Chains A and B, each alone.
Chain A
Amino acid sequence: MGNDVLRNLRKDFLVEFRSRFALNVSASFAAIVTIAISLTAGGVPFSPKVQAIVLWIVIFFSAMNGLSHIFVREEDQGTALFLRTAVNVDSVFVSKFIFNQAFMAVILAVVTPLYLFFLQVQVLHVAHFIFSVAAGGVSIAAATTILAAMVAKAGGKGSLFTIISFPILLPVLWISISSTSAALNAPSPTGGNLLFLLAFSGFISVISFLLFRFVWLED
Protein backbone atom coordinates (compact mmCIF):
# COMPACT_ATOMS: atom_id res chain seq x y z
CA MET A 1 0.00 0.00 0.00
CA GLY A 2 2.80 2.40 0.93
CA ASN A 3 4.44 2.01 -2.45
CA ASP A 4 1.15 2.52 -4.23
CA VAL A 5 0.49 5.70 -2.30
CA LEU A 6 3.94 7.08 -3.04
CA ARG A 7 3.73 6.22 -6.73
CA ASN A 8 0.29 7.78 -6.98
CA LEU A 9 1.38 10.91 -5.17
CA ARG A 10 4.41 11.27 -7.41
CA LYS A 11 2.20 10.94 -10.48
CA ASP A 12 -0.33 13.45 -9.13
CA PHE A 13 2.32 16.02 -8.30
CA LEU A 14 3.98 15.57 -11.69
CA VAL A 15 0.72 15.95 -13.59
CA GLU A 16 -0.28 18.96 -11.53
CA PHE A 17 3.15 20.52 -11.88
CA ARG A 18 3.09 20.03 -15.62
CA SER A 19 -0.11 22.01 -16.13
CA ARG A 20 -0.52 23.87 -12.83
CA PHE A 21 -4.12 24.40 -13.93
CA ALA A 22 -5.90 23.91 -10.61
CA LEU A 23 -3.27 25.81 -8.71
CA ASN A 24 -3.34 28.74 -11.12
CA VAL A 25 -7.12 28.96 -11.00
CA SER A 26 -7.27 28.85 -7.20
CA ALA A 27 -4.44 31.27 -6.62
CA SER A 28 -5.65 33.76 -9.21
CA PHE A 29 -9.15 33.57 -7.81
CA ALA A 30 -7.85 34.28 -4.32
CA ALA A 31 -5.76 37.18 -5.52
CA ILE A 32 -8.61 38.71 -7.52
CA VAL A 33 -11.10 38.46 -4.66
CA THR A 34 -8.71 39.87 -2.09
CA ILE A 35 -7.71 42.75 -4.33
CA ALA A 36 -11.35 43.40 -5.25
CA ILE A 37 -12.37 43.62 -1.60
CA SER A 38 -9.46 45.86 -0.75
CA LEU A 39 -10.06 48.10 -3.77
CA THR A 40 -13.78 48.49 -3.23
CA ALA A 41 -13.34 49.10 0.48
CA GLY A 42 -11.00 51.96 -0.48
CA GLY A 43 -8.43 51.17 2.15
CA VAL A 44 -10.89 51.38 5.05
CA PRO A 45 -9.86 48.77 7.63
CA PHE A 46 -12.57 46.31 8.67
CA SER A 47 -13.32 45.18 12.20
CA PRO A 48 -11.48 41.98 13.23
CA LYS A 49 -14.65 39.87 12.94
CA VAL A 50 -15.27 41.05 9.37
CA GLN A 51 -11.63 40.53 8.51
CA ALA A 52 -11.83 36.95 9.74
CA ILE A 53 -15.04 36.35 7.77
CA VAL A 54 -13.49 37.77 4.60
CA LEU A 55 -10.40 35.63 5.01
CA TRP A 56 -12.41 32.44 5.34
CA ILE A 57 -14.80 33.27 2.54
CA VAL A 58 -11.82 33.81 0.25
CA ILE A 59 -10.16 30.60 1.43
CA PHE A 60 -13.37 28.60 1.10
CA PHE A 61 -14.10 29.66 -2.47
CA SER A 62 -10.49 29.38 -3.59
CA ALA A 63 -10.42 25.87 -2.21
CA MET A 64 -13.71 25.08 -3.95
CA ASN A 65 -12.15 26.12 -7.24
CA GLY A 66 -9.25 23.75 -6.99
CA LEU A 67 -9.82 20.86 -4.63
CA SER A 68 -12.19 18.86 -6.82
CA HIS A 69 -9.70 18.93 -9.67
CA ILE A 70 -7.76 15.96 -8.36
CA PHE A 71 -10.63 13.56 -9.06
CA VAL A 72 -12.30 15.43 -11.90
CA ARG A 73 -9.07 15.23 -13.87
CA GLU A 74 -8.93 11.47 -13.50
CA GLU A 75 -12.47 11.14 -14.83
CA ASP A 76 -11.94 13.70 -17.60
CA GLN A 77 -8.77 12.14 -18.92
CA GLY A 78 -10.19 8.65 -18.63
CA THR A 79 -7.50 7.50 -16.22
CA ALA A 80 -9.99 6.82 -13.44
CA LEU A 81 -10.88 3.42 -14.84
CA PHE A 82 -7.24 2.40 -14.93
CA LEU A 83 -6.67 3.68 -11.42
CA ARG A 84 -9.76 1.82 -10.21
CA THR A 85 -8.64 -1.51 -11.60
CA ALA A 86 -4.90 -1.26 -10.99
CA VAL A 87 -4.62 0.41 -7.59
CA ASN A 88 -6.09 -0.55 -4.25
CA VAL A 89 -8.98 1.71 -3.25
CA ASP A 90 -7.48 2.63 0.13
CA SER A 91 -4.19 3.77 -1.38
CA VAL A 92 -6.06 5.87 -3.92
CA PHE A 93 -7.85 7.61 -1.09
CA VAL A 94 -4.73 8.14 0.98
CA SER A 95 -2.74 9.55 -1.91
CA LYS A 96 -5.52 11.88 -3.00
CA PHE A 97 -6.02 12.94 0.61
CA ILE A 98 -2.36 13.84 1.00
CA PHE A 99 -2.34 15.62 -2.33
CA ASN A 100 -5.37 17.68 -1.33
CA GLN A 101 -3.73 18.61 1.96
CA ALA A 102 -0.63 19.77 0.12
CA PHE A 103 -2.74 21.65 -2.39
CA MET A 104 -4.68 23.34 0.41
CA ALA A 105 -1.40 24.30 2.10
CA VAL A 106 -0.24 25.99 -1.08
CA ILE A 107 -3.54 27.86 -1.42
CA LEU A 108 -3.26 29.03 2.18
CA ALA A 109 0.33 30.09 1.61
CA VAL A 110 -0.86 32.26 -1.28
CA VAL A 111 -4.09 33.61 0.23
CA THR A 112 -2.97 34.50 3.73
CA PRO A 113 -0.04 36.80 2.89
CA LEU A 114 -2.13 38.52 0.20
CA TYR A 115 -4.90 39.05 2.71
CA LEU A 116 -2.56 40.37 5.40
CA PHE A 117 -0.96 42.67 2.87
CA PHE A 118 -4.03 44.15 1.20
CA LEU A 119 -6.57 44.33 4.03
CA GLN A 120 -4.30 46.02 6.58
CA VAL A 121 -4.71 43.24 9.09
CA GLN A 122 -2.83 43.48 12.34
CA VAL A 123 -2.37 40.12 13.96
CA LEU A 124 -2.11 40.21 17.72
CA HIS A 125 -1.27 36.55 18.30
CA VAL A 126 0.80 35.39 15.34
CA ALA A 127 1.19 31.76 16.41
CA HIS A 128 -2.51 31.36 17.13
CA PHE A 129 -3.35 32.94 13.79
CA ILE A 130 -1.06 30.58 11.89
CA PHE A 131 -2.41 27.56 13.73
CA SER A 132 -6.03 28.63 13.12
CA VAL A 133 -5.47 29.04 9.41
CA ALA A 134 -3.57 25.77 9.19
CA ALA A 135 -6.11 23.78 11.20
CA GLY A 136 -9.00 25.21 9.19
CA GLY A 137 -7.19 24.34 5.96
CA VAL A 138 -6.54 20.80 7.14
CA SER A 139 -10.24 20.37 7.97
CA ILE A 140 -11.39 21.73 4.62
CA ALA A 141 -9.01 19.49 2.68
CA ALA A 142 -9.95 16.46 4.80
CA ALA A 143 -13.68 16.89 4.30
CA THR A 144 -13.54 17.68 0.60
CA THR A 145 -11.50 14.70 -0.59
CA ILE A 146 -14.43 12.31 -0.70
CA LEU A 147 -16.76 15.06 -1.90
CA ALA A 148 -14.41 15.67 -4.82
CA ALA A 149 -14.69 12.00 -5.73
CA MET A 150 -18.50 12.27 -5.64
CA VAL A 151 -18.48 15.36 -7.83
CA ALA A 152 -16.14 13.70 -10.31
CA LYS A 153 -18.55 10.79 -10.55
CA ALA A 154 -21.39 13.21 -11.14
CA GLY A 155 -19.61 14.62 -14.16
CA GLY A 156 -17.50 17.28 -12.49
CA LYS A 157 -20.16 19.94 -12.67
CA GLY A 158 -18.48 23.03 -11.27
CA SER A 159 -20.84 24.54 -8.76
CA LEU A 160 -22.07 21.19 -7.47
CA PHE A 161 -18.87 20.86 -5.47
CA THR A 162 -19.54 24.10 -3.62
CA ILE A 163 -23.15 23.15 -2.96
CA ILE A 164 -22.39 19.77 -1.47
CA SER A 165 -19.34 20.98 0.47
CA PHE A 166 -21.00 23.90 2.17
CA PRO A 167 -23.25 22.09 4.68
CA ILE A 168 -20.39 19.84 5.72
CA LEU A 169 -17.83 22.61 5.96
CA LEU A 170 -20.10 25.01 7.82
CA PRO A 171 -18.86 24.03 11.30
CA VAL A 172 -15.27 24.36 10.08
CA LEU A 173 -15.92 27.83 8.72
CA TRP A 174 -17.68 28.95 11.90
CA ILE A 175 -14.95 27.78 14.20
CA SER A 176 -12.14 28.96 11.97
CA ILE A 177 -13.70 32.40 11.78
CA SER A 178 -14.11 32.69 15.53
CA SER A 179 -10.62 31.34 16.10
CA THR A 180 -9.08 33.71 13.56
CA SER A 181 -10.94 36.70 14.91
CA ALA A 182 -9.73 35.74 18.40
CA ALA A 183 -6.19 35.65 17.08
CA LEU A 184 -6.65 39.12 15.63
CA ASN A 185 -7.86 40.93 18.71
CA ALA A 186 -8.77 38.77 21.72
CA PRO A 187 -6.65 39.34 24.84
CA SER A 188 -5.80 35.66 25.28
CA PRO A 189 -7.23 33.19 22.74
CA THR A 190 -7.68 29.62 23.92
CA GLY A 191 -6.86 26.47 22.00
CA GLY A 192 -10.34 24.90 22.26
CA ASN A 193 -11.30 25.95 18.75
CA LEU A 194 -8.12 24.48 17.28
CA LEU A 195 -8.80 21.25 19.11
CA PHE A 196 -12.30 21.18 17.65
CA LEU A 197 -10.94 21.67 14.13
CA LEU A 198 -8.40 18.89 14.53
CA ALA A 199 -11.01 16.56 16.02
CA PHE A 200 -13.37 17.35 13.17
CA SER A 201 -10.77 16.69 10.51
CA GLY A 202 -9.70 13.45 12.14
CA PHE A 203 -13.28 12.29 12.43
CA ILE A 204 -14.27 13.23 8.89
CA SER A 205 -11.09 11.64 7.48
CA VAL A 206 -11.92 8.32 9.13
CA ILE A 207 -15.52 8.40 7.91
CA SER A 208 -14.38 9.38 4.40
CA PHE A 209 -11.85 6.57 4.40
CA LEU A 210 -14.61 4.10 5.28
CA LEU A 211 -17.09 5.49 2.75
CA PHE A 212 -14.64 6.02 -0.09
CA ARG A 213 -14.92 2.52 -1.53
CA PHE A 214 -18.65 3.00 -2.10
CA VAL A 215 -18.03 6.18 -4.03
CA TRP A 216 -14.98 5.09 -5.97
CA LEU A 217 -15.68 1.50 -6.93
CA GLU A 218 -18.34 0.51 -9.43
CA ASP A 219 -20.40 -2.63 -9.70
Chain B
Amino acid sequence: MKIISAAVKSVYILMPAAIVMAFLWAPPAQVLGDSSRIMYFHVPIAWVSILAFVVAGIVSILFLADRKGSFVMFDGIAYNSAVAGLVFTVLTVITGSIWARISWGVFWNWDPRETSIVIILLIYIAYFSIQGAMAHNDNRGRIGSAYLILAMITLPFFAFLVPRIYPSLHPDPIINADRTIFLDDRMRSTLAVAIASFTALYCYILHIMNRMMKLQNHIEETSHEAD
Protein backbone atom coordinates (compact mmCIF):
# COMPACT_ATOMS: atom_id res chain seq x y z
CA MET B 1 0.00 0.00 0.00
CA LYS B 2 2.87 2.32 0.92
CA ILE B 3 4.63 1.58 -2.36
CA ILE B 4 1.49 2.31 -4.39
CA SER B 5 0.88 5.62 -2.70
CA ALA B 6 4.52 6.59 -3.21
CA ALA B 7 4.47 5.54 -6.87
CA VAL B 8 1.32 7.45 -7.76
CA LYS B 9 2.73 10.59 -6.15
CA SER B 10 5.32 10.68 -8.91
CA VAL B 11 2.63 12.54 -10.83
CA TYR B 12 3.67 15.70 -8.95
CA ILE B 13 7.05 15.58 -10.69
CA LEU B 14 6.11 13.88 -13.94
CA MET B 15 3.25 16.14 -14.95
CA PRO B 16 5.12 19.49 -14.87
CA ALA B 17 8.02 17.79 -16.61
CA ALA B 18 5.66 16.53 -19.30
CA ILE B 19 4.12 19.98 -19.75
CA VAL B 20 7.48 21.73 -20.05
CA MET B 21 8.82 19.05 -22.39
CA ALA B 22 5.70 19.21 -24.55
CA PHE B 23 5.95 22.96 -25.03
CA LEU B 24 9.66 23.70 -24.96
CA TRP B 25 11.72 20.60 -25.57
CA ALA B 26 9.82 18.73 -28.26
CA PRO B 27 10.16 20.18 -31.76
CA PRO B 28 6.99 21.08 -33.66
CA ALA B 29 5.82 18.46 -36.14
CA GLN B 30 6.71 19.09 -39.75
CA VAL B 31 3.24 19.26 -41.24
CA LEU B 32 1.05 20.05 -38.28
CA GLY B 33 3.31 22.67 -36.72
CA ASP B 34 2.89 23.83 -33.13
CA SER B 35 -0.68 22.59 -33.01
CA SER B 36 0.77 19.08 -32.93
CA ARG B 37 1.74 19.73 -29.31
CA ILE B 38 -1.81 18.85 -28.33
CA MET B 39 -0.71 15.30 -29.14
CA TYR B 40 1.18 15.16 -25.82
CA PHE B 41 -2.14 15.63 -24.06
CA HIS B 42 -4.62 14.00 -26.39
CA VAL B 43 -2.79 10.69 -26.88
CA PRO B 44 -2.10 10.07 -23.14
CA ILE B 45 -5.67 11.01 -22.21
CA ALA B 46 -7.00 8.62 -24.85
CA TRP B 47 -4.66 5.93 -23.57
CA VAL B 48 -5.87 6.47 -20.01
CA SER B 49 -9.52 6.27 -21.04
CA ILE B 50 -8.88 2.87 -22.62
CA LEU B 51 -6.78 1.81 -19.64
CA ALA B 52 -9.50 2.82 -17.18
CA PHE B 53 -12.03 0.83 -19.18
CA VAL B 54 -9.83 -2.28 -19.26
CA VAL B 55 -9.06 -1.94 -15.54
CA ALA B 56 -12.78 -1.67 -14.77
CA GLY B 57 -13.45 -4.79 -16.85
CA ILE B 58 -10.67 -6.86 -15.30
CA VAL B 59 -11.62 -5.79 -11.79
CA SER B 60 -15.23 -6.75 -12.55
CA ILE B 61 -14.12 -10.18 -13.71
CA LEU B 62 -12.14 -10.63 -10.48
CA PHE B 63 -15.17 -9.49 -8.47
CA LEU B 64 -17.50 -11.98 -10.11
CA ALA B 65 -15.02 -14.85 -10.22
CA ASP B 66 -14.18 -14.40 -6.56
CA ARG B 67 -15.51 -17.22 -4.38
CA LYS B 68 -13.43 -16.73 -1.27
CA GLY B 69 -14.54 -13.18 -0.60
CA SER B 70 -11.10 -11.67 -1.06
CA PHE B 71 -12.22 -9.10 -3.66
CA VAL B 72 -15.34 -7.85 -1.90
CA MET B 73 -14.93 -4.19 -2.74
CA PHE B 74 -13.81 -4.69 -6.31
CA ASP B 75 -17.16 -3.66 -7.75
CA GLY B 76 -16.57 -0.29 -6.13
CA ILE B 77 -13.09 -0.12 -7.67
CA ALA B 78 -14.59 -0.91 -11.07
CA TYR B 79 -17.12 1.86 -10.54
CA ASN B 80 -14.41 4.34 -9.52
CA SER B 81 -12.28 3.38 -12.48
CA ALA B 82 -15.27 3.88 -14.75
CA VAL B 83 -15.90 7.31 -13.24
CA ALA B 84 -12.30 8.36 -13.88
CA GLY B 85 -12.47 6.72 -17.30
CA LEU B 86 -15.62 8.61 -18.20
CA VAL B 87 -13.92 11.92 -17.41
CA PHE B 88 -10.88 10.98 -19.46
CA THR B 89 -13.06 9.77 -22.33
CA VAL B 90 -14.93 13.06 -22.44
CA LEU B 91 -11.57 14.85 -22.39
CA THR B 92 -10.34 12.65 -25.22
CA VAL B 93 -13.34 13.62 -27.30
CA ILE B 94 -12.82 17.32 -26.52
CA THR B 95 -9.08 17.44 -27.19
CA GLY B 96 -9.50 15.20 -30.21
CA SER B 97 -12.18 17.33 -31.79
CA ILE B 98 -10.14 20.49 -31.22
CA TRP B 99 -7.19 18.86 -32.92
CA ALA B 100 -9.46 17.60 -35.69
CA ARG B 101 -10.79 21.12 -36.21
CA ILE B 102 -7.24 22.41 -36.56
CA SER B 103 -5.88 19.76 -38.86
CA TRP B 104 -8.91 18.48 -40.81
CA GLY B 105 -11.14 21.55 -40.65
CA VAL B 106 -14.08 19.81 -38.94
CA PHE B 107 -14.80 18.92 -35.35
CA TRP B 108 -16.21 15.50 -36.07
CA ASN B 109 -16.16 13.10 -38.99
CA TRP B 110 -16.78 9.54 -37.69
CA ASP B 111 -13.24 8.43 -38.12
CA PRO B 112 -12.69 4.88 -36.73
CA ARG B 113 -10.94 6.04 -33.59
CA GLU B 114 -13.59 8.68 -32.96
CA THR B 115 -16.23 6.01 -33.45
CA SER B 116 -14.54 3.66 -30.99
CA ILE B 117 -14.25 6.36 -28.35
CA VAL B 118 -17.93 7.21 -28.80
CA ILE B 119 -18.79 3.55 -28.35
CA ILE B 120 -16.81 3.47 -25.12
CA LEU B 121 -18.61 6.63 -24.05
CA LEU B 122 -21.97 4.97 -24.78
CA ILE B 123 -20.95 1.93 -22.75
CA TYR B 124 -19.97 4.14 -19.82
CA ILE B 125 -23.28 6.00 -20.05
CA ALA B 126 -25.18 2.70 -20.07
CA TYR B 127 -23.13 1.43 -17.14
CA PHE B 128 -23.84 4.53 -15.07
CA SER B 129 -27.52 4.33 -16.02
CA ILE B 130 -27.66 0.83 -14.58
CA GLN B 131 -25.76 1.85 -11.49
CA GLY B 132 -28.03 4.84 -11.04
CA ALA B 133 -31.18 2.79 -11.49
CA MET B 134 -30.01 0.29 -8.90
CA ALA B 135 -29.00 2.62 -6.10
CA HIS B 136 -29.57 1.00 -2.69
CA ASN B 137 -29.90 -2.40 -4.33
CA ASP B 138 -27.71 -5.21 -3.05
CA ASN B 139 -27.23 -6.64 -6.52
CA ARG B 140 -25.89 -3.40 -7.91
CA GLY B 141 -22.25 -4.46 -7.93
CA ARG B 142 -22.88 -7.82 -9.52
CA ILE B 143 -25.16 -6.56 -12.25
CA GLY B 144 -22.96 -3.57 -13.02
CA SER B 145 -19.91 -5.82 -13.24
CA ALA B 146 -21.74 -8.29 -15.45
CA TYR B 147 -22.73 -5.50 -17.80
CA LEU B 148 -19.22 -4.10 -17.93
CA ILE B 149 -17.82 -7.52 -18.80
CA LEU B 150 -20.47 -8.05 -21.48
CA ALA B 151 -19.73 -4.65 -22.97
CA MET B 152 -15.97 -5.14 -22.83
CA ILE B 153 -16.25 -8.47 -24.58
CA THR B 154 -18.12 -6.98 -27.53
CA LEU B 155 -15.34 -4.43 -28.12
CA PRO B 156 -13.16 -6.75 -30.25
CA PHE B 157 -16.06 -6.98 -32.66
CA PHE B 158 -15.91 -3.22 -33.03
CA ALA B 159 -12.16 -3.32 -33.54
CA PHE B 160 -12.82 -5.70 -36.40
CA LEU B 161 -15.78 -3.79 -37.79
CA VAL B 162 -15.27 -0.09 -37.50
CA PRO B 163 -12.27 0.32 -39.81
CA ARG B 164 -14.21 -1.53 -42.50
CA ILE B 165 -17.09 0.92 -42.26
CA TYR B 166 -15.32 4.26 -41.96
CA PRO B 167 -12.01 5.18 -43.61
CA SER B 168 -9.46 6.74 -41.26
CA LEU B 169 -8.10 10.27 -41.28
CA HIS B 170 -6.10 9.78 -38.10
CA PRO B 171 -2.41 10.64 -38.25
CA ASP B 172 -1.17 7.08 -38.16
CA PRO B 173 2.52 7.95 -38.37
CA ILE B 174 2.16 9.95 -35.19
CA ILE B 175 0.54 7.10 -33.31
CA ASN B 176 2.02 4.00 -34.91
CA ALA B 177 5.54 3.47 -33.72
CA ASP B 178 6.67 1.66 -36.84
CA ARG B 179 6.19 4.61 -39.17
CA THR B 180 8.28 7.31 -37.57
CA ILE B 181 8.05 10.05 -40.16
CA PHE B 182 6.76 12.65 -37.75
CA LEU B 183 8.13 11.31 -34.50
CA ASP B 184 11.75 11.98 -33.74
CA ASP B 185 13.41 10.86 -30.52
CA ARG B 186 12.60 13.98 -28.55
CA MET B 187 8.94 13.80 -29.53
CA ARG B 188 8.81 10.15 -28.64
CA SER B 189 10.37 10.61 -25.22
CA THR B 190 8.05 13.56 -24.52
CA LEU B 191 5.10 11.40 -25.44
CA ALA B 192 6.40 8.63 -23.19
CA VAL B 193 6.74 11.02 -20.24
CA ALA B 194 3.28 12.43 -20.93
CA ILE B 195 1.75 8.95 -21.06
CA ALA B 196 3.52 7.99 -17.84
CA SER B 197 2.36 11.13 -16.07
CA PHE B 198 -1.26 10.80 -17.17
CA THR B 199 -1.23 7.13 -16.16
CA ALA B 200 0.13 8.17 -12.77
CA LEU B 201 -2.59 10.82 -12.53
CA TYR B 202 -5.26 8.24 -13.27
CA CYS B 203 -3.79 5.84 -10.71
CA TYR B 204 -3.59 8.63 -8.15
CA ILE B 205 -7.22 9.65 -8.65
CA LEU B 206 -8.32 6.01 -8.52
CA HIS B 207 -6.24 5.47 -5.38
CA ILE B 208 -7.84 8.43 -3.60
CA MET B 209 -11.33 7.40 -4.71
CA ASN B 210 -10.79 3.85 -3.48
CA ARG B 211 -9.59 5.06 -0.10
CA MET B 212 -12.61 7.32 0.21
CA MET B 213 -14.87 4.44 -0.72
CA LYS B 214 -13.25 2.32 1.96
CA LEU B 215 -13.80 5.03 4.54
CA GLN B 216 -17.39 5.46 3.46
CA ASN B 217 -18.09 1.73 3.66
CA HIS B 218 -16.48 1.58 7.08
CA ILE B 219 -18.58 4.46 8.38
CA GLU B 220 -21.75 2.91 6.97
CA GLU B 221 -20.94 -0.45 8.55
CA THR B 222 -20.22 1.02 11.98
CA SER B 223 -23.37 3.12 11.90
CA HIS B 224 -25.36 -0.01 11.03
CA GLU B 225 -23.75 -1.83 13.93
CA ALA B 226 -24.58 1.06 16.24
CA ASP B 227 -28.23 0.76 15.19
Give A residues with C-beta under 8 Å from B.
146-147, 150, 153-155, 157, 160, 163-164, 166-168, 170-171, 174-175, 178, 196, 200, 203-204, 207-208, 211, 214-215, 218-219
Closest Cβ of chain A to B101, distance in Å, is 26
Closest Cβ of chain B to A97, distance in Å, is 14
Closest Cβ of chain B to A169, distance in Å, is 9
Closest Cβ of chain B to A172, distance in Å, is 9
Q: Is the CB of B138 within 8 A of A218?
A: yes
Q: Is the CB of A154 within 8 A of B126?
A: no
Closest Cβ of chain A to B109, distance in Å, is 17
Residue B137 is within 8 A (CB to CB) of chain A in the complex: yes
- Which residues in window 125-154 of B have CB below 8 A to A? 125-126, 129-130, 133-134, 137-139, 142-143, 145-147, 149-151, 153-154
Using a Cβ–Cβ cut-off of 8 Å, how many residues does chain B contribute to the interface with A? 27
User: How far apart are the CA atoms of A219 and B75 in the complex, in Å?
Assistant: 15
Please, which residue of chain A has its CB at the minimum distance from the CB of B131?
A154
User: How far apart are the CA atoms of A154 and B142 in the complex, in Å?
Assistant: 12
Cβ–Cβ < 8 Å partners of A215 in chain B: 139, 142-143, 146
| Majority DSSP secondary structure for residues of A touching B | helix
User: How far apart are the CA atoms of A155 and B143 in the complex, in Å?
Assistant: 13
One of B64, B119, B149 near A167 (C-beta < 8 A)? B119
Q: Is the CB of A208 within 8 A of B150?
A: yes
User: How far apart are the CA atoms of A146 and B143 in the complex, in Å?
Assistant: 10
Question: Which of A147, A178, A214 gathers the greatest number of chain B CB atoms within 10 Å?
Answer: A214
16 A-B residue pairs with CB within 8 Å: A150-B146, A153-B139, A154-B133, A154-B134, A160-B133, A163-B129, A164-B147, A167-B151, A168-B154, A170-B119, A200-B154, A204-B150, A207-B153, A211-B146, A214-B143, A218-B139
One of A155, A167, A219 near B122 (C-beta < 8 A)? A167
Cβ–Cβ < 8 Å partners of B64 in chain A: 211, 214
Q: Is the CB of B129 within 8 A of A160?
A: yes
Task: Known A-B contacts: A155-B133, A211-B149. Give 7 more (CB < 8 A).
Answer: A163-B125, A163-B126, A164-B147, A167-B126, A174-B161, A211-B150, A214-B143
Residue B100 is within 8 A (CB to CB) of chain A in the complex: no
Cβ–Cβ < 8 Å partners of B142 in chain A: 214-215
Closest Cβ of chain B to A100, distance in Å, is 16
Q: Is the CB of A154 within 8 A of B150?
A: no
Closest Cβ of chain B to A89, distance in Å, is 13
Please, which residue of chain A has its CB at the minimum distance from the CB of B64?
A214
Closest Cβ of chain A to B58, distance in Å, is 15
User: How far apart are the CA atoms of A171 and B164 in the complex, in Å?
Assistant: 12
Please, which residue of chain A has its CB at the minimum distance from the CB of B158?
A171
Knowing A167-B126, A174-B165, A218-B138 are in contact, say whether A154-B119 is a contact too (CB < 8 A).
no
Closest Cβ of chain B to A186, distance in Å, is 15
Cβ–Cβ < 8 Å partners of B146 in chain A: 146, 150, 211, 214-215
Q: Is the CB of B157 within 8 A of A164?
A: no
Q: Is the CB of B129 within 8 A of A164?
A: yes
Residue B123 is within 8 A (CB to CB) of chain A in the complex: yes
Cβ–Cβ < 8 Å partners of B133 in chain A: 154-155, 157, 160
Q: Is the CB of A171 within 8 A of B161?
A: yes
Closest Cβ of chain A to B117, distance in Å, is 12
Cβ–Cβ < 8 Å partners of A219 in chain B: 138
Top 3 nearest A-B pairs (CB, nearest first) are A154-B133, A167-B122, A164-B126
Closest Cβ of chain B to A139, distance in Å, is 11
Q: Is the CB of A146 within 8 A of B137?
A: no
Q: Is the CB of B149 within 8 A of A154?
A: no
Question: Which of A154, A157, A211 gathers the greatest number of chain B CB atoms within 10 Å?
Answer: A154
